[in-house]
Amino acid sequence: MDGRPSCKAIRHLLPIALLLLAGCGGEDGEGGAVRLEAWHHAGREAERRTIREQVARFNAQHEGEIRIELTLIPEGSYNAQVQAAALAGELPDLLELDGPYLYQYVWQGSLRPVGPFLPEDTRADILPSIREQGTFRGRLYSVGAFDSALGLYARRDRLKEIGARIPEGPGEAWSVKEFEQVLGLLAEADPDGAVLDLHLNYEGEWFPYAFAPVLWSAGGGLIARPDHDRARGVLDSPESVAAMERLQGWIEAGYVDPNLDDAAFTEGRVALSWGGHWNYPRYRAAVGEDLVVLPLPDFGRGTRTAQGSWNWGIARACPDPEAAGEFLAFLLEDEEVLAMTRANGAVPGTRPALERSPLYGPDGPLRLLAEQLQGGQAVPRPRTPAYPVISTIFQDAFADIRHGMDVREVLERAAAEIDADLEANEGYRFPEEPRRR
């Protein structure tokens, strides 16, 4: 990616221009209140209603002082619209960002750190996974009211029928060898042998989100950390190749349901589903008390999982970052975090709210997902401005692997493509950094 807007982004420039005609923040002129523009992705209806109610509550509390003017933008075109506005130097004062895309906006100089504008106790309450996602080059650039989570859903009765051990926490995850034994035993008792759903019916970001943990658990990865300066030797390492060959083997053995109707688990065709927190309401309704949530299998270095979701940043051009920080601190109050996570089912983004959550609290059915976010098993996607390119290349590589191409060749090509992008962009260095040789 060279930083220029895509064709898709250009198609959205007109609505962006119309949005920008309203202008960004400044004094309201009526009572002298600071007026700040805020962009939020238009998620499900409950989320839209909740953020509107939150803005109304905040504005009422700060009448005559601060006024947030909210714009909801369709989720499908959100990143393209933000990128177009960033390139035009016309970002709103406050905006949501899709987790791993944050670093590109920091690299472009579009955002300012949020840490100085948040109370210390607010920063201390934020989940470590969200703090890690929002931190780039040692500074906190974003915060979120919620996080995402990934695990393995299972039907308890099917596991009991084959005598499988049921892991109780991240430390008890099945080894990949044990996982494959479970797949084999389940398949023997299944009419068509397809017992696992990997959500191959999903598109886009699902694939790095869901399957980079396989690489991390094996000791491989998408790119070298912490420098993010090469993919060769990491994405195409023996560990990464071996892990993806095992995953490819599950597909070739017929264990994976293609799930074209997105109902493989709810209709009982499979006993296991590799899924996110957002699958829980539908699965619980279909399976009831028989539903269990397990950690992903351990490929050798301990189970690993994904994290990262929508988070808030402050534009560098925001005229009153202190006022913007007050709004973010408001969104991170316990009641506001719980209000949003009741609406979207995500993991509450602060420790106090998490402990009060019926789903993720100490006795909640999704407690294991919360434990992973706090226990070190959750790994953020690469914190580099190159991430959009890495994501696209890995998505293509995964498609080739699932369709039977040679794993080593696919990953070697993908690593070379990522390294070529890094070289073309001089390692995404910042202006103050020396050129790399």
User: Residues 47, 344: contact at Cβ < 8 Å?
Assistant: yes
Helices (H), 35-143: 45-61, 78-87, 102-107, 120-125, 128-134
Tokens matching residue 43: 């998620």
pLDDT range class, residue 430, cuts 50, 70, 90: confident
* Helix or strand holding residue 247 (H, E): helix 238-252
Q: Give the position of tokens 């979207």.
A: 344
pLDDT at 254 over 60: yes
pLDDT range class, residue 433, cuts 50, 70, 90: low
Task: Specify the pLDDT at position 435.
Answer: 58
Tens of pLDDT, residue by residue over 120-170, are: 999 999 999 999 999 999 999 999 999 999 999 999 999 999 999 999 999
Angle, to 10 degrees, between the axis of helix 13-21 and the axis of helix 78-87? 60
User: Residues 415, 223: contact at Cβ < 8 Å?
Assistant: no
User: Quick one: 242 exposed, middle or buried, by C-beta within 10 A (0-12, 13-18, 19+)?
Assistant: middle
Tokens matching residue 423: 């070289």
Angle, to 10 degrees, between the axis of helix 407-424 and the axis of helix 238-252? 130
Task: Specify the pLDDT at position 76.
Answer: 84
> Average pLDDT over the chain, rounded to whole?
92
pLDDT at 232 over 70: yes
Task: Specify the pLDDT at position 227.
Answer: 93
Mean pLDDT, rounded, for 175-203: 97
Tens of pLDDT, residue by residue over 331-362, are: 999 999 999 999 999 999 999 999 999 999 99
Taking the model in full, what pTM does it have? 0.90
Backbone angles phi, psi at 233, to 5 degrees: 85, -5
Task: Specify the pLDDT at position 204.
Answer: 92
What is the chain's percent helix, strand, coil content, to nearest 5? 45, 15, 35
> Who wins on pLDDT, 281 or 429?
281
Domains of the chain by range and CATH? 35-148+308-380 (3.40.190.10), 151-306+385-425 (3.40.190.10)
pLDDT at 7 over 50: no
Angular region, 218: left φ>0, alpha ψ -120 to 50, beta rest: alpha
User: What whole-number distance in Å separates Cα of residue 77 and Cα of residue 210?
Assistant: 22
Tens of pLDDT, residue by residue over 295-331, are: 999 999 999 999 999 999 999 999 999 999 999 999 9
Coil, helix or strand at residue 314: strand
User: What whole-number distance in Å separates Cα of residue 159 and Cα of residue 235?
Assistant: 33
pLDDT range class, residue 12, cuts 50, 70, 90: very low
